[in-house]
Structure 1
């Protein structure tokens, strides 16, 4: 993941306060692919259809960088938009060594994945994607390919019976009927086969001439293949392989043997959804706009990945988005046919901030009333009209009109009017969460709903009101 704010800073605690700032985003790394190639495997098509019905998922970025309240991985990357200040700022290699030595302090003793699964399920989330390995190469699973991992004797948490956190997370969420996604970084800045210590790294890419040392790159291909096979064969049923690091791609100077890797993965996990993000072609089964919402429906499966706060990784100073904003984001994304993958970063102690639980509880309370218009829905024209956004039940003749509020408490006007398309006859109109009998008229494709006075003054609804329109099939 990149930081997606133009300018941001994260305060670290490494002997003395250290500041890490991103001056600008490296352009193009997370641009959404323009060309989409539909899968042909019936099992993949079926699973992709199931995934699209879920609508709301949980993303978690977690690694040793949380000890410093650090941005995930990027502070060790020598690119010109990274600025380091503090005791190691004048010595890149000293900084990188100190960063990698965080392994010796990582001990998330509060780790309790069942607590996360319970909170996510109550919020209406139906799938999870967890960072098994980010770009820095630290593995949050028990790989046999490297000792730079949470289960290594070099990591204090290795003595914990739940030290294989990826397996524990997948197991806990699977028991709550979540679809399971394994995030995996294609680049690995700890591997000698990606950043060879013989040369200094120059940027996020490999730091040696692939033409001169093809055998070294082949070893990295083998290393990646072996790690993916571990995840696909030893961690139970996996639904999504979510691959990050789109600069490792066929049209660049470095390329992985994706046919071989994906072929192996689907041998272990039939129907596996593969998300080789930002790399158009047969291995990008859905696209992933980051921290943004398309302004119109897209003609292929897609998912916005977005942070609950400002950061992908945990920071004690993070500012979490208000519940109203989060629900507004969810409704807008679903009305355009997408899924929302909402990120919450656990701390170095192994838990979320209390604010994260509060946001999920607020979302859950709203979803208990309005979730039927979110899950298993499809977009329907006109998609939106001013502050109203539309969805349609996938297998029922019901349209949902979400009335977006500008405050936590919904205040309804005397009447609500909006266009409905391709509707010949309306059977009933109701306001979810109330027993009110509504009066309405349909005239030339315009639905006008009269709102009773008692609902105008005190609807009892929060964040977003949902009108359900039952049409004639």
Structure 2
């Protein structure tokens, strides 16, 4: 995932042009999936419903949760640069700007890979992160155990490029095995765990090596064609399987494994046989969801739009991953969405049947940025009052109508969320709700006050008492509970 160095959200679609190296047809096909680090998403009509009853049960759980905290964190936070992507020479035109490195590409990559030697987040306190997440109404965590650069945020036995290695100053800290402590702290708050894992590993010698035709020039895929070097590729496959099994066997219950680097797939000739290892993991983690994003098929258990929200309900499980600030990784002097903006975003997604994974990039010292904390607490305050209309709900036609959004719970409760984008918005005393079903009672969700209403061909007209125009700011939302017949 990525934004540019100025924090601009990057567009979906299109292909990158790789200068200096030609790509094979398979490699070119994978380019269409990603534009400047931002992934497109799979088509809903291609979704494959899982047949495993435990996975189907877990999907119901997933669709109840609605809100995740996503976190991209690693040595790159020290510089406030985009995570990993600057290592790819093919992506240099957009990912290496903003810093005057004053060195050639190979020296730059060595400097990036050396950031582990100064990464020392001594102010990391996992219990505080978990407390804030619970306060914000977060239901599951999506944490980057490893991004494309290959740096492991857990004590992997299969890599020396990790947070617990002796050349990383943080390795002596009591919280050094960051994934272990973070996962446990969040579980104690009743928050689910999703382990984000990049299928690419740009630090691994069996993936990137200068011993092939490319030399030192690298793109996001392997340095060689896997079909031409099957023994080398098999070494990488086994390394990847070992790390996946390590996370799934030594770090407690995982609700989800969230796989990035969708270009690593059978279609591109880079088959790591993910299904093989996931089937094995599910023998001890029954029902664990697998989000093999942009790949499709039976192991992409939900679809993952990035930095965008679909126009319509997808009819299948999905989750939009969107930054709270302007960047997935920590960016100095970043700006963050207001609680009002996040609530409106969440409601838009939930009304269309999706989940929101709101991303925060922690600071290099281990703290969460103050602007992010303020936004999350504001979100939690709103959800503490109106969460009934969000959690555990499903789509309800007409989904969206103007500034009205609809959700339902069971067969007898419909929620209408009237959103106000700005504090200066007009707050009407009479609201017409275009809901076609029969309704016997309407109340305000926050107070329980019953409202008078009338039904005609335009819908349900509701009189809302206590509306004060003038200097009073518009609420973030008014939420009506419709008890249906």
Distance 1:413 1:10 in 2: 37
Q: Where does residue 273 of structure 2 map in the other structure?
A: 257
Which one of the candidate residues 47, 65, 69 is aligned to 1:54? 65
Q: Where does residue 125 of structure 1 map in the other structure?
A: 138
Asked if 1:2 corresponds to 2:2, the answer is yes
Relative to 1, partners in 2 of residues 1:100 and 1:372: Cα closer, same or farther, differing over 3 Å?
Answer: same
- Unaligned runs of 5+ residues in structure 1 are 12-23
CA positional deviation for 1:374? 0.1
Q: Where does residue 146 of structure 1 map in the other structure?
A: 159
CA positional deviation for 1:151? 0.5
- Unaligned runs of 5+ residues in structure 2 are 9-13, 17-31
2:335 match: secondary structure:
coil
User: Conserved in 2, the CA contact under 8 Å of 1:410 and 1:463?
Assistant: no
Asked if 1:336 corresponds to 2:341, the answer is no
Distance 1:435 1:252 in 2: 55
Q: Where does residue 279 of structure 1 map in the other structure?
A: 295
- Aligned-residue RMSD, C-alpha: 2.1
User: Conserved in 2, the CA contact under 8 Å of 1:60 and 1:130?
Assistant: yes
Asked if 1:471 corresponds to 2:484, the answer is yes
Asked if 1:166 corresponds to 2:186, the answer is no
Which one of the candidate residues 403, 415, 418 is aligned to 1:400? 415
Post-superposition, which runs of at least 4 consecutive aligned residues in structure 1 deviate over 6 A?
457-461
Distance 2:396 2:434 in 1: 11
User: Conserved in 1, the CA contact under 8 Å of 2:320 and 2:357?
Assistant: yes
User: Conserved in 2, the CA contact under 8 Å of 1:324 and 1:408?
Assistant: no
CA positional deviation for 1:454? 4.3
Distance 2:299 2:465 in 1: 52
Higher strand share: 1
Distance 1:396 1:366 in 2: 25
1:182 match: secondary structure:
strand
Which one of the candidate residues 361, 367, 383 is aligned to 2:383? 367
Q: Where does residue 20 of structure 1 map in the other structure?
A: none
1:328 match: secondary structure:
helix
Range that drifts further, 40-49 or 250-259: 250-259
1:93 match: secondary structure:
helix
CA deviations over 1:340-388 (Å, ceiling 9, x no partner): 0000111110111111111111111111111100000011011111110
Which one of the candidate residues 163, 166, 170 is aligned to 1:157? 170
Asked if 1:28 corresponds to 2:33, the answer is yes
Distance 2:425 2:413 in 1: 23
Length-normalised TM-score, structure 1: 0.92
Aligned length: 455
Length-normalised TM-score, structure 2: 0.90
Q: Where does residue 84 of structure 1 map in the other structure?
A: 96
User: Conserved in 1, the CA contact under 8 Å of 2:193 and 2:253?
Assistant: yes
User: Conserved in 2, the CA contact under 8 Å of 1:10 and 1:71?
Assistant: no
1:407 match: secondary structure:
coil
